[in-house]
Chains A and B, each alone.
Chain A
Amino acid sequence: MSTPIDLSRVTFIVMREMRWPIMALLLVYSLSIFGMVFVPGIDDESGKPQHLSIFHAFYFMTYTATTTGFGEIPFEFSDAQRFFAIICLYASVITWIYAIGAIVRLLQNPFFIHAVAEWRFSRSVRGIQGPFFILCGFGDTGSVLARGLSDYGWPCVIVDDSEERIKALQLRNYKVPMPGLYADASVPKHLLEAGLQRPNCKAIVAITNNEEVNLKISTTARVLNPNIRIITMSKVEVYEDTLVTLGGEVHIVDPFKTFAKVLAAAMHNPGFYALNRWLVREKTASIDHYVNPPIGKWVICGYGRMGYEVNHVLSKYGITTEVIDPDKDKGKDLKNYIVGRTTSKTLVKANIEQAVGILAGTNDDGHNLGILLNARHFNPNLFTIVRQNRHLNEVAFAASNTDMIMQPTLVTARKILFLLIAPLLKPFFFHLLENKEGRKETMEHVIERLRNTVGNKTPHLITINFTHENSKAVFQWFDEGKDVFLGDLLKDPDNRNRLLELVVFVIKSGDEIVVLPEEGYKIKAGDQLLFCGTGRAQRLFNATINNEYKLFYVQNGVFMPRSWLAQWIIKKTNRLGV
């Protein structure tokens, strides 16, 4: 375990820089005091010249050097003393100015400021007790992600190479500590300062704007900590190949691929898109309102990364597409490819009247909105999907009455958030979307149950690890050889006839994944469980698995005796509890 930059560097700089100013002050003071003591004062009654004592001379210098000037204390000075006092005053005041100047110069030195910031940063990282994540890159995606993690109560350490962003970070009100450092995250030293090798660091997220930097961060992180989860954003395939071979747990998030997959899922499973949006807590999302992208001919405007991925997925499902893009080389392999900017002319050429849906997926927000208006003019019933590139344009997009708005930054941030806080969601969704008999009904069933339990309240996706620290009561039961069944844990510990407002999605036990486990499922040590429920349900669930009295109650319906006397009576009367 190597310790990152410590206090010694900052103190070292201060000491080295302040050595001469302090030395100068010391010399001037001591010489002045020495002089003041020896210069003769006015004669006393016996005719001998009076002298200042060392104490009085020090007192005199203290108020003179700081230009306070209390006067001639303790007795009137002789002219000789006054003459020497002038010298003392100028010398000491000038030395003070020099010393203060040196301090100010040091405080203004950018390297010193940075060293102090680094020291403070690594100190607050060391102060984080529970598990935390490292977030490299605090752009649009990073700030959305940090907000989401804060809502779930996960601390996060942020490194960004923009000073403004880190300053902005310090002004935000997060519920948990979010220390930020202004530094290049691809430098190993800064990753160590961010706590990469700390045992409670659970994952590193590399989402800077620069792909190369992301790759560098991922590689460095893997070398320095072979067990850490790495999550990164990548749009270039060459990098992805390298990332995959790093070993360990590496997730590569591509917002466009993710969106295309969600879109395809939505076409076949209308509930899925609603469920997904509701789980990510999108503002306008409701679990009752399904979005149903129609199957038929689609027009894709803009054949960039988004156009490519969506076209790829749609074609795979046998949907005909018309692609419009000004670049004539990009779509050489496509059957229906119209070269040109999206205008009414090209839209007509793409048979917009016969289309069922349109995707405005260029990287220009104004253009995307224009495409929508244009297309609606020809075909008002179109299903519309629009790509919103910049967060700032939110108001305009919200007013555009679009069926689906795709913001790459949001999609990335939410996907990463789920990977971090609910890693089991992926196998769960995978199970629901599998092309098998009865899966659609399962999905409807899940949505129905969520509607009845959580309803309009904010959904919380909670991962519970059955470890000794996280579930003390359950482990106590294991030690005593008793079984714990999932069904009991789902009861309200305040009144076991009620059920907690939650739906268990999945349990991972060793390598085995149990989707929608039965109430009779027997909890084993080391199980990981994912549920969706209200905030209250989360608190009560945690109370049950940590408090032996509550666990006893939900299992048996009677209360466990607490005092020795009550225990004795219970034993004598052969009852189970009070």
Chain B
Amino acid sequence: MNLEKVVFGFFVVFALTLNFGFFLGEMDNPDHHNVFELFVVIVVNLIATILKLGDRSQIGAVLLATSLVADLQLVAAAIYWTMAVHVAESGLTPDVMSSIVSLSGGALLANVISAVILVSETLMSRL
């Protein structure tokens, strides 16, 4: 067992599960999507990204790319949320909420790819 692999796998899967949790629920209903959950998703995603930095292999590069995509989407969602609440002060109307959730949905897809690559790489090294 490799401690680095454990931590690595933990954060990759954790980013996926948290992202899924935030995504779950009615798309345009603000009550189903917690702002703190989004905050934690972003933090965990960033941690996962940092853990992927510096891997020189081909798979490492693809993993990093998926992570960067997820970060980009989630940060975009967070900025949109902040803008809607604090700057435009329109509040979380259904159309705002559905945009935020769809952005996080994109991030979810990137996280799924990340997890799939992680699992398949592990399986390949088992063979």
State in angstroms the CA–CA spacing of A18 and B54 once bound together. 9
State in angstroms the CA–CA spacing of A30 and B44 once bound together. 10
State in angstroms the CA–CA spacing of A18 and B82 once bound together. 29
> Do B35 and A26 touch (CB < 8 A)?
no
Please list 6 pairs of residues, one from A and one from B, whose beta carbons are closer than 8 Å in the complex, sorted by A's number: A19-B51, A23-B50, A26-B46, A26-B47, A26-B50, A53-B85
The total of interchain contacts (Cβ-Cβ below 8 angstroms) comes to: 37
Q: Is the interface on chain B under 10, 10 to 19, 20 to 34, or 35 or more residues?
A: 10 to 19
Q: Which residues of chain B are near A56, meaning CB under 8 Å?
A: 86
Q: Is the interface on chain A under 10, 10 to 19, 20 to 34, or 35 or more residues?
A: 10 to 19
Q: Least Cβ distance of B86 to chain A in Å?
A: 5
State in angstroms the CA–CA spacing of A12 and B56 once bound together. 7
State in angstroms the CA–CA spacing of A15 and B46 once bound together. 14
Instruction: Please pick, from B39, B47, B51, the residue contacting A54 in the complex, using a CB distance under 8 A.
Output: B39
State in angstroms the CA–CA spacing of A27 and B50 once bound together. 12
State in angstroms the CA–CA spacing of A16 and B39 once bound together. 26
Q: Least Cβ distance of A486 to chain B in Å?
A: 58
B-contacting residues of A (Cβ < 8 Å)?
Answer: 8, 12, 15-16, 18-19, 22-23, 26-27, 30, 33-34, 37, 53-56
Q: Which residues of chain A are near B53, meaning CB under 8 Å?
A: 15-16, 18-19
Q: Least Cβ distance of A468 to chain B in Å?
A: 40
Q: Least Cβ distance of B21 to chain A in Å?
A: 17
Q: Is the interface of B mostly helix, strand, loop or mixed?
A: helix
Given A19-B51, A30-B39, 19 more pairs with CB closer than 8 A: A12-B54, A15-B54, A16-B53, A16-B54, A19-B54, A23-B50, A26-B43, A26-B47, A26-B50, A27-B47, A33-B39, A34-B36, A34-B39, A53-B35, A53-B85, A53-B86, A54-B36, A54-B39, A55-B82
> Do A22 and B86 touch (CB < 8 A)?
no
Q: Least Cβ distance of B41 to chain A in Å?
A: 11
Q: Which residues of chain A are near B50, meaning CB under 8 Å?
A: 19, 22-23, 26
Flag B24-57 by CB within 8 Å of A: 1 or 0 each: 0000000000011001000100110011011010
Flag B49-69 by CB within 8 Å of A: 1 or 0 each: 011011010000000000000
State in angstroms the CA–CA spacing of A524 and B1 once bound together. 72
Q: Least Cβ distance of A232 to chain B in Å?
A: 37
Closest 10 CB pairs of A and B: A15-B54, A15-B53, A30-B43, A16-B54, A55-B82, A23-B50, A55-B86, A54-B39, A26-B46, A22-B50
State in angstroms the CA–CA spacing of A335 and B115 once bound together. 90
Q: Which residues of chain B are near A15, meaning CB under 8 Å?
A: 53-54
